[in-house]
Amino acid sequence: MTISQATASVCSISGIKSNPQATASSNKKKEIYLPGTDCAIKTQVYLSGYTSYRVGGPAEWYVAPRNLESLRASIEYAKTYKLPITVLGAGSNLLVSDRGIPGLVVVTRHLRHRNFDPETGQLTVAAGESIPGLAWEAAGLGWVGLEWAVGIPGTVGGAVVMNAGAHSSCIADILVSAQVLSPDGTVETLTPSELGYKYRTSNLQGGASIVTQATFQLQPGMAPEQLLAITKEHKSHRLSTQPYDKPSCGSVFRNPKPHGAGWLIEQTGLKGFQIGNAQVAQRHANFIVNCGGASAGDIFSLIRHIQHQVQEQWSIWLEPEVKMIGEFPAMG
């Protein structure tokens, strides 16, 4: 094991036998390298730098593995010290508590590789690859199937778990299989039917498996200029209808039927309503934006206010699409 010399304080351990919970509680930053890897586990990393809302307190322990071996070692580490694991992709559908997250936060965005197979039209990608990046790349090759996803600022892993979708398409439409790492260290390949896909949800939500890779079926053969133009059109549409200029998590609530959440919130007169520095966006009422310096608590209070106001006026309780992680007052 190598121990970083560069950090302010270094765990005085050998073979990581010390109790990390005891050392993390001192609040001093520490860094430990996982045995046999070049992957560092750090303490007290503020997650506001890892969420699209730009809010969130510290991860008690934080790791960002670059390959499957380091990911496995991270899970082993958490198991050894009985640390709960929280997985973060691009953090674009998360509200992380100001108090932070206990246990080990595993950030997957550095798991990178991608392969466009011209024989099969299949794209196999690691969990940390960016969805918009892949949409542009596929369009540039003339491979149809991801152009709808260009405005979704997440990773492949997050999109597979959330069944991300836009413009009447979603991940379930193109997924061939997802590779997941189970808590016991085994790697399984799951098909869409095993993932139980429904609107913005899958069996993977709330589970303990980590998506490591996905294979998508695309259709090569379109003129790249034509596909790039369609992709650009989708992006422009999003920019003109949604507030991409301020930190947000996209749509906060799932859409009930027959009316969408945005319509209900707008009709309740809440557009522009603000708590602290969190505001119901003027451009799209199902977005809450961070106007600068908002806390997770501001955003949470606004979510609750919207739920109560909409319930009062329409007898509909809006269900959050955003995942809330860490300690918040009980919803209700």
Ligand X SMILES: Cc1cc2nc3c(=O)[nH]c(=O)nc-3n(C[C@H](O)[C@H](O)[C@H](O)COP(=O)(O)OP(=O)(O)OC[C@H]3O[C@@H](n4cnc5c(N)ncnc54)[C@H](O)[C@@H]3O)c2cc1C
> What SS3 class is residue 143?
coil
Query: CA–CA separation, 204 vs 206, rounded Å?
Result: 6
For ligand X, the closer of residues 103 and 154 by Cβ is: 154
Is residue 94 involved in binding ligand X (CB under 6 A)?
yes
Residues from 18 through 77 that contact ligand X (CB under 6 A): 52
Q: Which of 20, 65, 250, 297 binds ligand X (CB under 6 A)?
A: 250
- Least Å distance, CB 13 to ligand X, is 28
Strands (E), the chain: 31-33, 40-46, 58-63, 85-88, 94-96, 101-107, 114-117, 122-126, 165-166, 169-170, 175-181, 187-190, 210-217, 274-275, 278-280, 288-290, 323-325
**Which two tokens mark 278?**
């969190």
Q: Which residues contact residue 153 at a Cβ distance below 8 angstroms, ignoring those fewer than 6 apart?
A: 52, 90, 92, 130, 131, 132, 250
The answer to whether residue 321 is catalytic is: yes
CB of 189 to ligand X, least distance (A): 14
At which residue do the structure tokens 């749509």 appear?
251
Taking the least distance from each CB to ligand X, the nearer of 158 and 320 is 158
Q: Does the annotation count 200 as an active-site position?
A: yes
| Helix (H) / strand (E) containing 201 | none
Which one of the listed residues 114, 200, 238, 254 is annotated catalytic?
A: 200
CB of 103 or CB of 220, closer to ligand X: 103
Angle between helices 131-141 and 224-241 (to 10 degrees): 150
Rule CB under 6 A: which of 139-198 touch ligand X? 151-155, 157-159, 161-162, 164-166
Catalytic residue among 48, 97, 251, 295: 251
| Beta carbon of residue 136, minimum distance to ligand X (angstroms, whole number) | 16
- Which residue of the set 60, 129, 147, 321 is catalytic? 321
Angstrom distance (rounded) from CA 114 to CA 117:
10
Contact footprint for ligand X (CB under 6 A)? 52, 87-94, 108, 127, 151-155, 157-159, 161-162, 164-166, 200, 204, 210-211, 244, 248-250, 323
Q: Report, as residue numbers or ranges, the catalytic residues.
A: 200, 251, 321
